[in-house]
Structure 1
Amino acid sequence: MSSAFLDLRSTARPASPVELFSTVAEIAPQPRRLGWRRRLAWGMIATDAAAIAIAVFTAQLLRFGDPVRAGAVSTADVAYGLISIALIVVWLVALAATRSRLLRNTGTGMVEYQRVLQSTLLTFGAFAVVAYLFQLQPARGYLAIALPLGLMLLIVGRGVWRTYLHALRRAGRCMTGAIVVGEQDDVLRVVSQLRSHYRIGYRAIAVSTPGSPHAGPVEEATEVLPFVPLDEVARVSKSRRARAVIVAGSLPGGNDAIRRLGWELENSQVELILMSRLTDVAGPRIHMRPINGLPMVHVDLPRYSGYSHAVKRLFDVSVVTVALVLFSPVFAAIAVAVRLGSPGPVIFRQERVGAHGARFTMLKFRSMVVDAEARLAQLRALDEGNGVLFKLKDDPRVTRAGRFLRAYSLDELPQLWNVLRGDMSLVGPRPPLPSEVEQYEGPVSRRLLTRPGITGLWQVNGRSNLSWEDSVRLDLYYVENWSITGDIVVLAKTAKAVLHRDGAY
């Protein structure tokens, strides 16, 4: 794919402190037409059509054979050819009807994939109803191949587009310009999040806060942003072709001010986005229930036992049992490498703290010399960690074999046994040392409300490169918002992080 296929070059400049100007003349007008959106939509349609066609005709070929090679085209071949064409058309219509290509869902989150699944089930459900009404008896083998193969190819195709879009957005392209409105602290929070979470595709081009833009210095690392008076936001967003207005937190005047802003933006191409202050609550826990014009937001409280946790435990045991069987040759090879690399035991045992403060012995393949703990005091001055955890990139205690094991997280494979025993989970907070737990203050101890994991949000977001505060924030977010679907996503991202060796040392 040529990078010119999707092209919207950013005017973003290198990071510098925010400067809020009192004039709107500094706002660069945004492109009149965002051609990359149209090209992205047509590209996804073409990919979807190709995936469905391959799945449907492959199913027909595997089930009924190649009529050309057979030398004759039967009535059944013609009938199933027509059925295949109809199935392709209905499937594509279902993908459009479920809005699976909606730009706001493309590139982030699970909604896009959920709608692909929904449209697939809708298509085959409709197919089954029509077959029943007209007393048709389609070959089960045909459907058994077409459905899973088509779904897999669709998801793979969407994944390829997502990866490509992320690469372009990382370079500052294919972004939607937005004016961020709200109190100064809320605006800075949102601008910072938009900058760090570039994958969602919004870039702040201006800010609007109550009062004077020179109310005080702003010490936030982001691009230079001009200031827009609150009463000029709607006019400026239209004249400068900003495609989004993001309301961060509250506005002076409360809900009435937001409603008036919505009225002023009517009949324009501008999105109005409200950023919730529930920053650590995942979407599935939030439910909207409008009652006579009164929007009620329900937030499900986290639970640490019950049916969902039983399902999580069943998932852990099932996956680990299969993994232990598949990886047994790898275990043997690593054990030999560790023993030949340096004298001492193959398995390193260390006391860690698990759920509700229970202590357990965590297992790892030994990656350091035997007297590593005794030599720790000599290396304290060289600590490159986050203030709580000791980390050293070129730790002299790590053996030659250990460097390879750590680079690809192979030293953690014995923790599969900890998961089988019930000490740990596949996905969860990082398992802390007792010395770390003694330093916990305030809500940090909530990390102990669930089993620690072999992997988690901390591992797929930087591992040793994270600050202590970021590590805690990610763990607390997981504890309150985990789900089986989320665990599967984390496991998939872990494989990618391991291959890229992100923060592994």
Structure 2
Amino acid sequence: MRQGGLVSPFPSARERLANGTISRPAIEWEQRYRRTVIASDTITTALVVGAIGDFFGARDAANWHEKWGILAFGTELLVLGALAVSRSWAPAVLGQGAEEFRRLGRSLFTATVVLALGGIALTSRNIKLWVFVAIPTIALVTMTSRYLLRLWLHRQRKEGRCLRPVLAAGSPATVRDLITRTRSFPHLGWRVDGVCTTDGLGIEDDRLDGVPVVGRLSDVANHVRRDGYRVVAVTPDPHWSPDRLRRLAWNLEGSDAEMIVAPVLMEVAGPRLHVDAVLGIPLLRVSMPAFTGGRRAIKGVVDWMGAAILLLLFAPLMAFVGLLVLLDSRGGVFYRQRRVGKDGREFTILKFRTMVTGAHGARAELAERNEGAGPLFKLRRDPRVTRVGAVLRRYSIDELPQLFNVLTGSMSLVGPRPPLPEESAAYGPDIRRRLLVKPGLTGLWQISGRSDLPWDEAVRLDLRYVEDWSLALDTVILWKTLRAVLHGQGAY
């Protein structure tokens, strides 16, 4: 796009459409990726079913078709049908957060129930194999293949490919925040290519953070149909009345664009949000965060069992690390420190010692070199850290003894970062909400940059976890923690 004889580094969606980057009725990469996912699910399901049938049924080939063939074919057909019915292959969910795996899990659970009921109705004696072996194996293999495909997709997006062109419509301030977030998190797959504002002007007249302002809010639908945007992101602005939003949704019908409206009143997401129709009026119902009850009891059981299993698995490694700590420098194996837990109760946290003896006393001398965010004290090159300690910190091995804290109930596997008493004493009422739940061995802060995060962002992530906690979110965080630990980003 030319502005005053210069070529803009941010071409509009119209130019990308002309250059072949955007194609109607859908972006080509979306179609290819969807076909790849469908092929992957179909092939992996067929391979699992074939392998199980061959392993358990090939010894008695005489009754293969009678005993195994119908169940094998029926299991595969049932799984693929459940995936299709639950819209697990919808482009809007592929590569987008936990919803993709939630739909996949729901589909496989449905297939399991239907298969079990069908086996009972037909009095099949071989149904247990397919219910308790075949479908769990299919779940493991398909989720792994989906995850590998998602890693590939995220790498493509970080290189500027496989992005969905977005038209942002709202006030300049809220649109600017959206542009900043999409550029900071390219793996989400959004690229703001155009902006509509109330008066058709941006902060730099015809541009907003380098993105062209293509028109007014009243012209959004026309620009979408003409320029091929795939997402219309509506951000807060006084212009957006319920009637105007409804008419925009009507005008977008028949296009390939997905309309997404940012919440205005509060930043809440996940299972706490419910849409209800009351007297014909759509209402967004926000349920209270769950700090007690059945789900919390399940979380406690998972914490205890998970900590016990991990301690058994890591026992040889922890013994070896303890020996290295003793040989590297004078002092004990463990470092004990007071931290603040749930409801403000203090407890003693355990870590492998990573600093020289008397390191806490030398902190005052290094205060001017502090690189930590907010009240945190951090140094990228802390002279108090030992050689072994630097390696332990980089890969978070020094935190393994905290599994004992999880086992005794003072911590959880997933939760907010446990603060020091002096940090907690400086908390305002808002930040103190972090103390409504147990602190965690890992959390959103762990998978989002750790010590590299600004203080405000670390607090926001902790509060988001407290407000939107769910078992599914815990599972995603635990899964992503492994990658964050291996990369070592923000660990020092």
Indicate the residue corresponding to 2:345 in structure 1.
Answer: 358
Structure 2 counterpart of 1:273, one-letter code: I
Kept in 2: contact 1:320–1:419 (CA 8 A): yes
Structure 2 counterpart of 1:300, one-letter code: S
SS in 2 for 1:289: strand
Is 1:277 aligned with 2:277? Answer: no
SS in 2 for 1:104: coil
Indicate the residue corresponding to 2:3 in structure 1.
Answer: none
Indicate the residue corresponding to 2:4 in structure 1.
Answer: none
Indicate the residue corresponding to 1:8 in structure 2.
Answer: none
Pick aligned residue for 2:29 from 33, 36, 57: 36
Indicate the residue corresponding to 1:70 in structure 2.
Answer: none
SS in 1 for 2:255: coil
Indicate the residue corresponding to 1:233 in structure 2.
Answer: 220
Indicate the residue corresponding to 2:430 in structure 1.
Answer: 443
Name the CA distance, whole Å, in 2 between partners of 1:127 and 1:491. Answer: 31
Structure 2 counterpart of 1:41, one-letter code: R
Indicate the residue corresponding to 1:20 in structure 2.
Answer: none
Name the CA distance, whole Å, in 2 between partners of 1:247 and 1:420. Answer: 46
Structure 1 counterpart of 2:259, one-letter code: L
Tell me the CA shift for residue 207 of structure 1. 1.1
Percent of residue pairs identical: 37
Tell me the CA shift for residue 484 of structure 1. 2.0
Indicate the residue corresponding to 1:388 in structure 2.
Answer: 375
Pick aligned residue for 2:176 from 172, 188, 203: 188
Distance 1:25 1:93, change over 3 A: closer
Kept in 1: contact 2:98–2:476 (CA 8 A): no
Tell me the CA shift for residue 370 of structure 1. 0.2
Name the CA distance, whole Å, in 1 between partners of 2:405 and 2:251. Answer: 59
Indicate the residue corresponding to 1:17 in structure 2.
Answer: none
Kept in 1: contact 2:303–2:407 (CA 8 A): yes
Indicate the residue corresponding to 1:205 in structure 2.
Answer: 193
CA deviation profile, 1:442-472 (whole Å, cap 9, x unmatched): 4112111221111111111100101111111
Tell me the CA shift for residue 29 of structure 1. 4.6
Pick aligned residue for 2:51 from 58, 61, 74: 58
Tell me the CA shift for residue 212 of structure 1. 5.0
Kept in 2: contact 1:429–1:453 (CA 8 A): yes
Q: What is the TM-score with the length of structure 2 in the denominator?
A: 0.91
Name the CA distance, whole Å, in 2 between partners of 1:27 and 1:296. Answer: 36
Deviates more, 1:367-376 or 1:306-315: 306-315
Indicate the residue corresponding to 1:248 in structure 2.
Answer: 235
Is 1:425 aligned with 2:416? Answer: no
Name the CA distance, whole Å, in 2 between partners of 1:39 and 1:28. Answer: 22
Kept in 2: contact 1:248–1:274 (CA 8 A): yes
Name the CA distance, whole Å, in 1 between partners of 2:117 and 2:431. Answer: 53
1:52-451 alignment runs, 5 A limit: 52-65=45-58, 73-77=61-65, 79-213=67-201, 222-252=209-239, 254-277=241-264, 280-451=267-438
Kept in 2: contact 1:251–1:258 (CA 8 A): no
Q: What is the TM-score with the length of structure 1 in the denominator?
A: 0.89
Distance 1:223 1:168, change over 3 A: farther
CA deviation profile, 1:191-241 (whole Å, cap 9, x unmatched): 222222323322111111112515778998x44332311222211211111
Cα RMSD after superposing both structures: 2.4
Structure 2 counterpart of 1:177, one-letter code: P
Distance 1:428 1:447, change over 3 A: same
Deviates more, 1:248-257 or 1:36-45: 248-257
Kept in 2: contact 1:205–1:226 (CA 8 A): no
Tell me the CA shift for residue 244 of structure 1. 2.2
Indicate the residue corresponding to 1:488 in structure 2.
Answer: 475
CA deviation profile, 1:131-188 (whole Å, cap 9, x unmatched): 3444443352344321111111111111111111111111111111121111222222
Distance 1:168 1:138, change over 3 A: same
Indicate the residue corresponding to 1:5 in structure 2.
Answer: none
Distance 1:77 1:93, change over 3 A: same
Indicate the residue corresponding to 1:469 in structure 2.
Answer: 456
CA deviation profile, 1:395-428 (whole Å, cap 9, x unmatched): 1111111111111111111111112222211111
Indicate the residue corresponding to 1:502 in structure 2.
Answer: 489
Kept in 2: contact 1:26–1:226 (CA 8 A): no
Kept in 1: contact 2:339–2:349 (CA 8 A): yes
Structure 2 counterpart of 1:35, one-letter code: E
**How many pairs were matched up?**
480
Distance 1:251 1:230, change over 3 A: same
SS in 2 for 1:273: strand
Tell me the CA shift for residue 385 of structure 1. 1.4
Indicate the residue corresponding to 2:39 in structure 1.
Answer: 46
Name the CA distance, whole Å, in 2 between partners of 1:126 and 1:310. Answer: 29
CA deviation profile, 1:74-109 (whole Å, cap 9, x unmatched): 133565234323332332222111110111111122
SS in 1 for 2:361: coil
Unaligned runs of 5+ in 1: 1-10, 15-23, 68-72
Structure 2 counterpart of 1:321, one-letter code: A
Name the CA distance, whole Å, in 1 between partners of 2:387 and 2:44. Answer: 46
Distance 1:278 1:43, change over 3 A: farther
Distance 1:86 1:342, change over 3 A: same
Deviates more, 1:403-412 or 1:229-238: 229-238
Unaligned runs of 5+ in 2: 1-6
1:454-465 alignment runs, 5 A limit: 454-465=441-452
Tell me the CA shift for residue 378 of structure 1. 1.6
SS in 2 for 1:374: helix
Kept in 1: contact 2:119–2:127 (CA 8 A): no
